[in-house]
Chain A
Amino acid sequence: MTDFDTKKLSNIHHELHSDLPSEPALRTKALESLLTEKKLLDAAAIDAWIEMYRDEIGPKRGAAVIARAWTDPAFKERLLADGTSAIAELGFAGHGTGHLQAVENTPQVHNLVVCTLCSCYPFSLLGVSPAWYKSNEYRARAVRDPRGVLKEFGVELDAGTQVRVWDSTSERRYLVVPQRPTGLDAWDENALAQLVRRNSMIGTQRDLHLSREMS
Chain B
Amino acid sequence: MDGVHDLGGREGFGLVPNKEDGEPFHAEWETRAFGIVQSSALGSGWSIDWFRHCRELIVPTDYLTRPYFDQWITTLAAQLVDEGYLTLQEVRSGKSSFIPQPAYAADTAEASRKYVKVPKSYAREVGTAALFSSGDSVRCSALGSPGHTRLPGYVRGRRGVVHAHHGGHGLPDASTRGSTEAEHLYTVRFEASELWPEAEDAVDQVFVDLWESYLEPA
**Chain A residue, CB-CB nearest to B4:** A136
**Chain B residue, CB-CB nearest to A131:** B18
Query: Which segment, of A33-41, A181-189, A207-215, faces chain B?
Result: A33-41
Q: When the two chains form the complex, which single residue of A10, A134, A137, A168 contacts B13, counting CB atoms closer than 8 Å?
A: A137
Contact-size category for A: 35 or more
Residue B130 CB within 8 A of the other chain: no
- Please give the residue numbers on chain A whose beta carbons come within 8 Å of chain B beta carbons, in ascending order: 1-6, 8-10, 12-17, 19-20, 24-25, 27-35, 37-42, 44-50, 52-53, 57, 59, 84, 88, 93-95, 97-99, 114, 116-119, 123-124, 127-132, 134-144, 146-147, 149, 152-153, 159-160, 162-172, 198-199, 204
Q: In angstroms, how far is the closest chain A Cβ from the Cβ of B23?
A: 7
| CB < 8 Å A-B pair total | 333
Distance, CA A166 to CA B207, complexed state (A): 5
List the 5 shortest-distance A-B pairs measured between CB atoms, nearest first: A116-B8, A128-B24, A46-B35, A170-B209, A45-B39
- Whether the pair A98, B113 counts as a contact (CB closer than 8 A) is no
Known: A4-B177, A98-B121, A117-B152. A16 touches B8 (CB 8 A): no
Q: In angstroms, how far is the closest chain A Cβ from the Cβ of B179?
A: 9
Residue B5 CB within 8 A of the other chain: yes
Contact-size category for B: 35 or more
Q: In angstroms, how far is the closest chain A Cβ from the Cβ of B181?
A: 13
Q: In angstroms, how far is the closest chain B Cβ from the Cβ of A156?
A: 15
Q: In angstroms, how far is the closest chain A Cβ from the Cβ of B135?
A: 17
Between B41, B53, B91, B166, the greatest number of chain A beta carbons within 10 A of the residue's beta carbon is seen for B91
Q: When the two chains form the complex, which single residue of B24, B44, B50, B150 contacts A1, counting CB atoms closer than 8 Å?
A: B44
- Whether the pair A48, B109 counts as a contact (CB closer than 8 A) is yes
- Whether the pair B19, A38 counts as a contact (CB closer than 8 A) is no
- Please give the residue numbers on chain B whose beta carbons come within 8 Å of chain A beta carbons, in ascending order: 1, 5-11, 13-19, 21-36, 38-41, 43-45, 48, 50, 52-59, 62, 64, 66-70, 73-74, 76-86, 88, 90-92, 94-96, 98-100, 102-103, 106-109, 111-113, 115-123, 146-148, 150-152, 154, 166, 169, 176-178, 185, 187, 195-196, 199, 203-211
Q: When the two chains form the complex, which single residue of A6, A34, A118, A144 contacts B86, counting CB atoms closer than 8 Å?
A: A34
- Whether the pair A42, B76 counts as a contact (CB closer than 8 A) is no
- 10 A-B residue pairs with Cβ-Cβ distance under 8 Å, sorted by A, are A1-B43, A3-B178, A13-B58, A15-B81, A19-B88, A29-B32, A95-B116, A130-B18, A144-B196, A162-B203
- Whether the pair A144, B94 counts as a contact (CB closer than 8 A) is no
- Whether the pair B116, A13 counts as a contact (CB closer than 8 A) is no
Distance, CA A144 to CA B31, complexed state (A): 32
Q: In angstroms, how far is the closest chain A Cβ from the Cβ of B167?
A: 10
- Whether the pair A137, B14 counts as a contact (CB closer than 8 A) is yes
Known: A6-B57, A27-B73. A128 touches B34 (CB 8 A): yes
- Whether the pair A4, B32 counts as a contact (CB closer than 8 A) is no
Distance, CA A124 to CA B109, complexed state (A): 17
- Whether the pair B205, A162 counts as a contact (CB closer than 8 A) is yes
- Whether the pair B36, A31 counts as a contact (CB closer than 8 A) is yes
- Whether the pair A131, B26 counts as a contact (CB closer than 8 A) is yes
Distance, CA A24 to CA B186, complexed state (A): 39
- Whether the pair A2, B206 counts as a contact (CB closer than 8 A) is no
Q: In angstroms, how far is the closest chain B Cβ from the Cβ of A122?
A: 10
Contacts of B69 in A (CB 8 A): 24, 28
- Whether the pair B22, A172 counts as a contact (CB closer than 8 A) is no
Distance, CA A25 to CA B154, complexed state (A): 35
- Whether the pair A139, B27 counts as a contact (CB closer than 8 A) is no
- Whether the pair B21, A170 counts as a contact (CB closer than 8 A) is no
Distance, CA A160 to CA B204, complexed state (A): 10
Known: A10-B57, A137-B17, A199-B22. A167 touches B208 (CB 8 A): yes
- Whether the pair A53, B24 counts as a contact (CB closer than 8 A) is yes
Distance, CA A132 to CA B9, complexed state (A): 16
- Whether the pair B150, A134 counts as a contact (CB closer than 8 A) is no
**Chain B residue, CB-CB nearest to A15:** B88
Q: In angstroms, how far is the closest chain A Cβ from the Cβ of B212?
A: 12
Distance, CA A108 to CA B211, complexed state (A): 29
